[in-house]
Structure 1
């Protein structure tokens, strides 16, 4: 139904719900969102209507200005919205009207000009108020005194509703930048506007001039009345909004060192008798606060909302020496920050924000702040076990500095939730370049990068800096779908340091390119804590010890993760002196002077995992030392290289290693080594082992262990499915079906079923039965590629190009001129109709040209080839092939190997060669079929090219092989057994460089006319 009356109500109008109940039911009511552009919201709603009779607009107003959502429409900017406002007029009927209820909108010359411009742009009849609109006791009325055009419509509200409405629709317009309190001077200062707004319980909007600077010059201290010093927002004074009128921000400046020595705003708590003070800042900059105590820019004990604003360059009063927290903002109640910047503030703790209440930070930038102690950007603090809560989303926290927690410091009992946020370039003297946590921090979809924890020359400086990205001590840390990268610490935990009963859970994340310069844990340090890592990548990190992960006296659980390309002086991938569990993971490409992959001096369980491509001067794969216990099952250790010591497993100095159903083979140096007789190496059976030293040989002597298998026949380390890289056993690997399942695993490292053949495979990967991928072309010319598995590809119509790629494929060209390539695998190829080009490539293929004059090249492998109908060209290539021309006059070439040729019906050409193996022709028909000899191959032939031999003596028929040897002829046929010889040395014994090159098994009676010679 088309609405002909619309009522737009700005949600910032106090008690607006009081106006709605008695509105005409035929009127559509639209509530304007406070954080959206109200002008655009009105335009969007009107676009859904036609022939509108009346538009009512309820919002705060001022002389020549109208507040709509987060925007103010006024004389200075109405031209910028002309296109949008014109849409209002287009939706109105010919006599359409706009009623504007905002206070004093039409007041004075400025107000009348504003209404006139609206009338001109929309073409509508317009009525607006030049006085206060609203409650009579507050000086208001409901008269719309200024009219452009002819007004017919009644007001939107009944007399009873108008009489009972408690508020007025007025903005308080600040029309001087002076800081004065003087009721007789005819102007309103910011301080006077605050005092007026505090005086009533109704909501108020204070309107500032864009780009103007409001310097606070009246000194005072803590009288909490806004008359002197800071601007106090009192309890019980309603919601107070301070907003800049235009694009430029209005600046409110407390003067810094030469100013009032107070903060800019103080939002006062209400206690038991009054509601808390409420302040909304919109499009302003708060600066120059300098206070003896907390909250240099703003101290909030009530409700504070900051939109599209800047809080900058506020600081403590160093003269008094009083410690101050939160020089940008000190919040002890409820704080919301949207699309704003907190920058350049300096404090003891919480340089940008000190939160002991609830803080919500959205789409904002916290940068360049500093604290001499904790939380350069944000300090989330708790006075009790109730704690504080800080929620940060879609924001940037960068370039902040502190002693602890350069970006964020989160205290005991407090919680910080971080989502879609970047924390970068922050720094500390001690711990937690990006984040320092002793409470609870939850990070999702965020980036923690380029933060640093390095000592300086200032107070408390030390070389023992931990946690370049994040320092978690006693706390709870959760990280998901996030990136922790390029952070650095001077001692431990370049990316993350997790200490002293702390817990960290990392999932679906990347920890990369972090560094711990002089200590442990380039990516992650877990010291006496608990770390759980799943579906994540730890790569490219570096440290003195433990380039990827250092688990020192802690508990580390690693699953479905890649630990790769980390670097250290000692122990490149993982060092564990605590308890580690590694499942379904790959440790690859790490390097160190000692211990390339995993160093164990505690207890480690490794299952369904791959350790590959690691390198070290000593012990590249697993190094088990100092009474460590390593239990390795259903895992693959291969491709590791070390200068000395075992490249697979080195067990020494009291270590105990148990290996079950695992591959330890194909490493560059010895695969398994025990360096002292007191060490314990136990086989759990069903292992595939390469080379072992003299002490280890007796450990792998069970019937189900395979020892001395130096080539385990594995594929490259690559993506074989699942979250990690793996080695897939080749089809002829002795690991297949020869393993066991000691841990009752249901899946392999990739997540594929563990029971896929006659038995469990040895190692981390279970070879699966291949499913066939069906690919069907179109009626057009298609380019069809198979997969690395078994494919069934049908080309349909068009000149198709079909590639089977790996594995055993079935390829069918169908109609038109197709090019078909089987690639690797034992393929079955049908050319289909028309003239096709078919390549078998690698493998033992079945090739059929089918209809049309096809060209079929079997290439490598022992292939079976049918030319099919029509005149085909068939080349067997390499291998022992079976070739049938079938129907049509075909040309058959056996190629290298022992080939069997059948021409089939019709006249066929058998192109033979010498030195490429024996061709066996089973159905040669004299007078119909032709034997083609190339004189470049049969170089002793001097007869002219063409049919037969122009030199009669060059062809002879004999009845024994010995007669063939001594014949003067070059080409000799034994009519008793069908053998054809190339007699390259004439009457001399044997055949010189020649010999038997074909056998016509049906012993036909051939003559020289059955030969065709070619240059």
Structure 2
């Protein structure tokens, strides 16, 4: 039955709104937060997660709501649509698959009132044969259903022209939101894998209007759309979402000859572009952005997309975001993307970002990407946030000294990540934050085996709950005068002038190797606090007589406070097997230094095995061993074997646990100790036979009541220490070799 459904939004209509009403808004809808803000009072709003099945989300919410509030009077579903189809989360519900959800939709009847209404706002849902879909939807849910037969939004109206049953509910939105909304709720369906013509992706982009979503017919699952006539250009201001959720395994290929997409915008009109739930492979350009390139003023969103084997000569093997862009990447994988041919300073293997706006990466994997600066990511002034992501096997080893180019020595840095500030110099502040992530087997050639983080004086860096393991940095090929000698096997952090600080919390550096200084960490001009962290098995190279091989675990070039941290089995080719830093620049508290070694360049001195100077003492520190020719780390350090277990993963943290009987158990200083240990275990635990719980020293809090079940992790083998040649020589006064200023 077809009828015109007249909508009213007067003040009097507010009084008629049902008391039990749910409004579902799909997160794939453009500017969905403004729609949510415009929902009339008295209704509960639920935002559908675009990464999950929307039908399942709605079913769960309806059941939970009704169990608490009673039978539901109306359900409003605001999402993209097309004839006979609704886009709900990562799933399209349509005429072709509604029977698949029959039992789930029928279950809604137990939560809905007898005269309940369901309002479907998506464009064209009831147009043509879509009326049959609405009829079936009404039959299964037992509700009266209203739906649109034309465009809903800016280029249409908000009337729901088709209804099945008697509709008694008003629209869920206030009139101002509907009048001012700048998008549409339309879905355009790609029906074939041709590069052009009716039903093709290229034709869909050409016919779309701003705010549309382009989806793919389920029959395209597992197929490849090969672009044989070049990249698909997204026009200025045409805000689009391209979503492959309905066609699992769909690939868009640049055919090793072009990008997949190029997004246009300008200073007058920005463009929002989103790509979801598909693969982009074999894109190629001699410029930037092998899979997706952009002009300035673009907001790019990437969700659940795989980028495989894309190539850009100048940077951003997969993606390049230009000036004033924002970039959000989630649930995605970047594998085998390359940007090395141009030996360019902005040569990011996977993602290049040239903007001082937000650059966010969550729950994503970067593997085997190759670049010049940043094997995975290169960010210029971006406010970079990385969470719950993995960087494995990325490298910048193809870089070389760029004679004749600007900043010729600024190459090969950051095997996985390279940053050049976190803000524009005119801005007050910027932050680089990396959390809950893993960096393994990345390789740099210059500075920073895993990450090279250069900052401005107004910037700060936060590393938390993250592992840097088995990364390596070598010297830059062809660099004259020893520049870029290979500092920071795990991470290099520096600034031209003192920045706003470095915070390292619950983070492990294990098995990293530096050709020169700072096997795990190399830092300059970044006043630091290191808490609840582990440095194990990091090393600097050994070269006989080379006094630059400093700081097996870390080289510190700014005041640093180290609290409840374990520094064990690290080695340096010259001095400072644990720490290389100036006297009075480091403060130690509740920290364990164990079996760190320094080869002294092959000389028989036996000096500076753990540290290079005596540091400020806040109590609770342990050192083992102390040989007669060496110094103590602090004046009152306890000299005793802390009895550390091997490196292992416990509760997601890579740690060196205290073993039963360790003298470091219950010997820490409580004041200022972190409330949890590196694994998240509460401090203090009573770990010895003496009544009363006292915090332990090191990053691990031992409890005699709990025996952890570790997941073994390979213990990196420190670089071998050669047998020193017994030739007397005066005690050296080493000094760090400065890093070239970017």
Q: TM-score, normalization: structure 1?
A: 0.52
Question: Which of 397, 404, 407 lines up with 2:413 in the alignment?
Answer: 404
Corresponding residue for residue 453 of structure 2: 437
Corresponding residue for residue 159 of structure 2: 142
Structure 1 residues 5, 538: closer, same or farther in 2, change over 3 A? closer
Question: Which of 581, 587, 603 lines up with 2:616 in the alignment?
Answer: 581
Query: How far has the Cα of 1:511 moved from its partner?
Result: 1.0
Partner Cα separation in structure 2 for residue 407 and residue 61 of structure 1? 40
1:390 aligned to 2:384? yes
Corresponding residue for residue 850 of structure 1: none
Q: Secondary structure at the match of 2:690?
A: coil
Query: How far has the Cα of 1:507 moved from its partner?
Result: 2.1
1:556-604 deviation digits (Å, cap 9, x = unpaired):
4131111112233345864655674344253422478x84564xxxxx8
Query: How far has the Cα of 1:392 moved from its partner?
Result: 0.5
1:282-323 deviation digits (Å, cap 9, x = unpaired):
10222222112111122233101111111221112xxxxxx5
Q: Which runs of 5+ in 1 are unaligned?
A: 220-229, 317-322, 382-386, 599-603, 615-714, 725-746, 752-784, 792-1015
Contact persistence 1:285–1:312 (CA under 8 A): yes
Contact persistence 1:496–1:523 (CA under 8 A): yes
Corresponding residue for residue 231 of structure 1: 232
1:270 aligned to 2:172? no
Q: Secondary structure at the match of 1:293?
A: coil
Structure 1 residues 529, 26: closer, same or farther in 2, change over 3 A? closer
1:376 aligned to 2:375? yes
Q: Secondary structure at the match of 2:418?
A: strand
1:364 aligned to 2:356? no
Question: Which of 490, 493, 497 lines up with 1:472 in the alignment?
Answer: 493
Query: How far has the Cα of 1:153 moved from its partner?
Result: 3.3
Partner Cα separation in structure 2 for residue 296 and residue 169 of structure 1? 30
Query: How far has the Cα of 1:341 moved from its partner?
Result: 1.2
Partner Cα separation in structure 1 for residue 176 and residue 612 of structure 2? 76
Question: Which of 523, 529, 554 lines up with 1:505 in the alignment?
Answer: 529
Structure 1 residues 466, 14: closer, same or farther in 2, change over 3 A? closer
Corresponding residue for residue 227 of structure 2: 216
Q: Which runs of 5+ in 2 are unaligned?
A: 1-16, 341-346, 397-411, 424-430, 543-548, 601-605, 643-660, 675-686, 694-742
Contact persistence 2:422–2:432 (CA under 8 A): no
Partner Cα separation in structure 2 for residue 497 and residue 426 of structure 1? 16
Q: How does 1:11-26 map to 2 (within 5 A)?
A: 12-13=28-29
Structure 1 residues 120, 472: closer, same or farther in 2, change over 3 A? same
Corresponding residue for residue 596 of structure 2: 566
1:335 aligned to 2:324? no
Structure 1 residues 723, 452: closer, same or farther in 2, change over 3 A? farther
Q: How does 1:837-876 map to 2 (within 5 A)?
A: none
Contact persistence 2:369–2:395 (CA under 8 A): yes
Corresponding residue for residue 910 of structure 1: none
Structure 1 residues 79, 435: closer, same or farther in 2, change over 3 A? farther
Query: How far has the Cα of 1:62 moved from its partner?
Result: 1.4
Question: Which of 698, 709, 721 lines up with 2:667 in the alignment?
Answer: 721
Corresponding residue for residue 121 of structure 1: 140
Q: Secondary structure at the match of 2:667?
A: coil
Contact persistence 1:61–1:105 (CA under 8 A): yes
1:804-852 deviation digits (Å, cap 9, x = unpaired):
xxxxxxxxxxxxxxxxxxxxxxxxxxxxxxxxxxxxxxxxxxxxxxxxx
Partner Cα separation in structure 1 for residue 167 and residue 662 of structure 2? 84
Richer in strand (by share): 1
Question: Which of 194, 205, 208 lines up with 1:178 in the alignment?
Answer: 194
Contact persistence 1:721–1:750 (CA under 8 A): no
Corresponding residue for residue 484 of structure 1: 509
1:642-700 deviation digits (Å, cap 9, x = unpaired):
xxxxxxxxxxxxxxxxxxxxxxxxxxxxxxxxxxxxxxxxxxxxxxxxxxxxxxxxxxx
Question: Which of 199, 202, 205 lines up with 1:194 in the alignment?
Answer: 205
Partner Cα separation in structure 2 for residue 159 and residue 421 of structure 1? 43
1:132 aligned to 2:150? yes
C-alpha RMSD over aligned residues: 4.0
1:422 aligned to 2:438? yes
Q: How does 1:74-93 map to 2 (within 5 A)?
A: 74-78=94-98, 81-93=101-113
Contact persistence 2:512–2:519 (CA under 8 A): yes
1:517 aligned to 2:541? yes
Structure 1 residues 484, 193: closer, same or farther in 2, change over 3 A? same
Partner Cα separation in structure 1 for residue 79 and residue 422 of structure 2? 43
Q: How does 1:917-936 map to 2 (within 5 A)?
A: none
User: Which deviates the most, 574-583 or 391-400?
Assistant: 574-583
Partner Cα separation in structure 1 for residue 277 and residue 575 of structure 2? 49
The count of corresponding residues between Structure 1 and Structure 2 is 584
Q: Which has the higher contact order (CA 8 A, sep 6+)?
A: 2
Question: Which of 312, 315, 320 lines up with 2:308 in the alignment?
Answer: 312
Structure 1 residues 19, 374: closer, same or farther in 2, change over 3 A? closer
Query: How far has the Cα of 1:400 moved from its partner?
Result: 0.4
Contact persistence 2:492–2:521 (CA under 8 A): yes
Corresponding residue for residue 562 of structure 2: 533
Structure 1 residues 510, 281: closer, same or farther in 2, change over 3 A? same
Corresponding residue for residue 870 of structure 1: none
1:373-420 deviation digits (Å, cap 9, x = unpaired):
211011122xxxxx3221101111221001221011122465521111
Query: How far has the Cα of 1:84 moved from its partner?
Result: 3.9
Structure 1 residues 551, 32: closer, same or farther in 2, change over 3 A? closer
Partner Cα separation in structure 1 for residue 47 and residue 303 of structure 2? 20
Contact persistence 1:142–1:162 (CA under 8 A): no
1:611 aligned to 2:629? no
Structure 1 residues 717, 46: closer, same or farther in 2, change over 3 A? closer
Partner Cα separation in structure 2 for residue 27 and residue 539 of structure 1? 58
Partner Cα separation in structure 1 for residue 491 and residue 37 of structure 2? 54
Q: TM-score, normalization: structure 2?
A: 0.69
Structure 1 residues 112, 572: closer, same or farther in 2, change over 3 A? farther
Larger radius of gyration: 1
